[in-house]
Amino acid sequence: MKILIPLKQVPDSTVRVSVAPDGKSIKTEGITWSISPYDEYAIEMALERKDDDPSTVVSVVTVGPARSRDALRQALAMGCDDASIVIADEAIPPVAIARALAKVIEDAKPDLVLCGKQASDDDQGFIGPALAEVLGWPHVATITKAVPADGSVELWREVEGGHEVWTARLPALATVHKSEKEPRYPSLPGIMKAKKKEIPERPFTALGVDSSGPMLEVLSMEPPPARGAGKILKDGDPRHLADQLATALRDEAKVL
């Protein structure tokens, strides 16, 4: 089985994001970049299938600036088999990103495509469903488990109260909410191997896909409103503190 994961490089989840002087973008100087967290879960999910069946081939691809190669190396070091990049330095309409990924997928012919449920920079959750739409494939959103069978795959989707289990004929696409295990760390041999792998690149313009499409325009960005320093209750009998808090929530905060 061939599994392909479109991934995006984003600021690491530990980065304290701050707004740049232009007021419409974030400061990127000196920040750490990583694979977007849900994409990392998608990789882990694919590698778990590879653990079960070593004939599984796991590929990663990204559309983005040259720095995104580091995210692909990270994926190779985790154990993915191959990686490629479509270089796109300028802002491209999201639907055109989906078209570019569709082109890569038509060439690579994977059985299963796993996207993250959303990229933790734009937080849109658009590319996965849009890619399935461009490909004309079915998709299942926000899965937590993929169990391959003959010519099909069982996709588990966590919903309120349990899991819906869907069966999709291959090829199919799913967006990933979580893997069964935590994303694995790259192993030392994995890192060494990843260093030596070629990462073929193509410029976006070489794909010959339509680059038109609606775009959102950022007018301004700001940090969420700062929270004022709160009240600290301590050093008392728990029952007394509890009464104090309940009364404050009713009379001051008015939430009870």
Partner 1 sequence: MKVLVVAERKGTELRRVSLELAAKATQLGDASVVEIGGERYSPLPFVSALAKKVQADAPDLVLLGATQNGRDLGARLAARLGRAYAADVTEIAAQGGSLEITRPMYAGKVRARMRVPLPAVVSIRPGAMRLREGAPAPQVTKIEADAAAEKLTFTKFAAVASGGKRVSLAEARVVVSGGRGLKGPEHWNLVEELADALGGAVGASRAVTDAGWRPNEEQVGQTGKTVTPDLYVALGISGAIQHLAGMTSSKVIVAVNKDPDADIFKVADYGVVADVFEFVPAFTEAVKKVRST
Ligand X SMILES: Nc1ncnc2c1ncn2[C@@H]1O[C@H](COP(=O)(O)O)[C@@H](O)[C@H]1O
Q: Which two tokens stand for residue 58?
A: 């796991």
**If you write DSSP's letter for every residue of 134-170 in order, what string do you get?**
HHT--EEEEEEEEEEETTEEEEEEEETTEEEEEEEES
Cα separation of 89 and 189, whole Å?
32
Q: Is 8 in the site for ligand X (CB under 6 A)?
A: yes
Q: How far is the CB of 141 from partner 1 (least distance, A)?
A: 4
Q: Is 174 in the site for ligand X (CB under 6 A)?
A: no
The item of ligand FAD, ligand X, partner 1, none sharing an interface with residue 95, based on CB under 5 to 8 Å by kind, is: partner 1
Where does this chain touch partner 1 (CB under 8 A) — which range of 61-69, 106-114, 187-195, 243-251? Answer: 243-251
Q: In this structure, are residues 144 and 157 in contact, taking their beta carbons and an 8 Å threshold? A: yes
Kindly identify the residues of this chain, within the stretch 10-69, that bind ligand FAD according to CB under 6 A.
13, 37
Cα separation of 4 and 42, whole Å?
10
Residues with Cβ within 8 Å of residue 245, at least 6 apart in sequence: 233
Residues 174-213 as x/- pattern, contact with partner 1 by CB under 8 A: -x-xx---x------------------------------x
In whole angstroms, how far apart are CA 125 and each of 40, 72, 85, 96? 15, 20, 21, 15
Q: Is 60 in the site for ligand X (CB under 6 A)?
A: no
Q: What is the DSSP letter of 55?
A: T
Q: What value, to the nearest 5°, has the Cα angle with vertex 154 and ends 148 and 157?
A: 135
Among 26, 27, 57, 125, binds ligand X (CB under 6 A): 125
Among 28, 89, 164, 208, binds partner 1 (CB under 8 A): 164
Q: Is 115 in the site for partner 1 (CB under 8 A)?
A: no
Q: Is 52 in the site for partner 1 (CB under 8 A)?
A: no
List interacting residues with ligand X (CB under 6 A).
Answer: 6-8, 36, 38-39, 62-64, 97, 101, 115-116, 118-119, 122, 124-128
